[in-house]
């Protein structure tokens, strides 16, 4: 009988140790949950301050994206024009290839001369226009004359 009482005593001591360990674990879990609740409360408060700013940022980003989209759509015509220029250049190259085989060098030179002259004159006109745009309105445009002694003198109008 003594062994049964001793076994019951050991079982009771083991049960007390398990209960104490379970109580400590539950206490730690409770402290952790309390700390977690406090931290989540602080996070919620911070999010209440941050949320309006995030909404404003998202709205501004949406406006910027819309603006960029409009500006990119505005450049579509430029790219279409570039595509048309490329198609035109290809067409001119094809015509040139076909016709260059039919023409002799002299005929080709005579037919290209007006084109080359046109390019030269358009370049000269462009340079004159560029210089005219660069001139300041305060500059004087004077007419110069050459006298009998080959001296260049300004022509004064009165």
Beta strands in the chain (DSSP E): 143-146, 152-155
pTM above 0.85, yes or no: no
Helix 2-74 × helix 76-102 angle, to 10°: 60
pLDDT tens digits, one per residue of 46-66: 989 899 999 999 999 999 999
Residue 114 pLDDT greater than 80, yes or no? yes
The C-alpha atoms of residue 91 and residue 22 are separated, in whole angstroms, by 89
Phi and psi at 141, nearest 5°, equal -105, 105
pLDDT tens digits, one per residue of 86-105: 888 888 888 877 777 777 77
Residues in the chain: 158
Sequence spans of domains, the chain: 11-74, 81-127
């Amino acid at each position: 009988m003594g062994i049964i009482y001793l076994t019951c005593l050991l079982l009771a001591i083991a049960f007390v140790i398990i209960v104490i360990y379970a109580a400590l674990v539950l206490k730690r879990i409770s402290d952790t949950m309390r700390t977690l609740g406090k931290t989540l409360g602080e996070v919620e408060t911070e999010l209440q301050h941050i949320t309006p700013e995030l909404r404003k940022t998202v709205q501004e980003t949406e406006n910027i994206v819309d603006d960029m989209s409009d500006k990119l759509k505005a450049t579509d015509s430029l790219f279409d024009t570039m595509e048309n220029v490329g198609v035109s250049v290809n067409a001119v190259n094809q015509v040139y290839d076909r016709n260059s085989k039919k023409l002799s060098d002299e005929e080709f030179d005579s037919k290209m001369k007006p084109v080359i002259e046109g390019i030269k004159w358009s370049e000269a006109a462009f340079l004159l226009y560029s210089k005219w745009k660069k001139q300041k309105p305060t500059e004087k445009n004077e007419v110069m004359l050459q006298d009998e002694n080959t001296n260049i003198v300004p022509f004064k109008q009165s």
